[in-house]
Amino acid sequence: MFLTGLKAKSIIKQIDKAQQARNYKASTTAVSSVAILQDVDKPFNQNNLSSLCKAIGVKSKDVAILEYVKTLTKEQREQPQLFSDKQVGWKGVFKTKSLKDFSATPFDILISYYTPENLSLKAMTALSAAKFKVGIDPAMETYNDLTIHVATGQEVVFTKELEKYLKILKVIN
């Protein structure tokens, strides 16, 4: 229990460092890659994913999805798109290759589609090399460049608002 608290503090310290070092620079190129970070219990509806891709102007094959699971089962351990708290170490170090690759990839847009207070999801959002970060949780406004206040399950509203604000910010045409 004591070590868990120390580990959490070390992760929070790394998150704070990443937030202070982050400096958004507007891109002049078209959006070509999008990542969605979500909780497996409340995922982005797959039926609405195509409308999100159309709104942003990317193909569905250019969307990477990473899902958080509270605890991984034996079958889930083989799936690189799933991760749990145990795969995030001290100081926010990602233990698996798939997590390291996801955090190091400079996605044009990272969509943090989750609302629960979860340190592993926060760490992935904060430590990601994504160029533009979008979230839905008002508590995560400091982690994201744009926050759209909607509840999970309101993908249609989220997609419309995201498209509108990305056009205003000239992230998409």
CATH numbers and ranges of domains, the chain: 2-168 (3.40.50)
Dihedral (C-alpha) 65, 66, 70, 74: value to the nearest 10 degrees? 90
Residues in Cβ contact with 28 at an 8 Å cutoff, skipping those fewer than 6 apart: none
C-beta separation of 89 from 3 below 8 A:
no
> Does residue 47 register a pLDDT over 90?
no
Element (H, E) at 119: helix 119-127
Residue 39 class from Cβ within 10 Å (0-12 exposed, 13-18 middle, 19+ buried)?
A: middle
- Better-predicted residue by pLDDT, 140 or 108: 108
User: What is the pTM (predicted TM-score) of this model?
Assistant: 0.90
> Does residue 2 register a pLDDT over 70?
no
> Does residue 106 register a pLDDT over 90?
yes
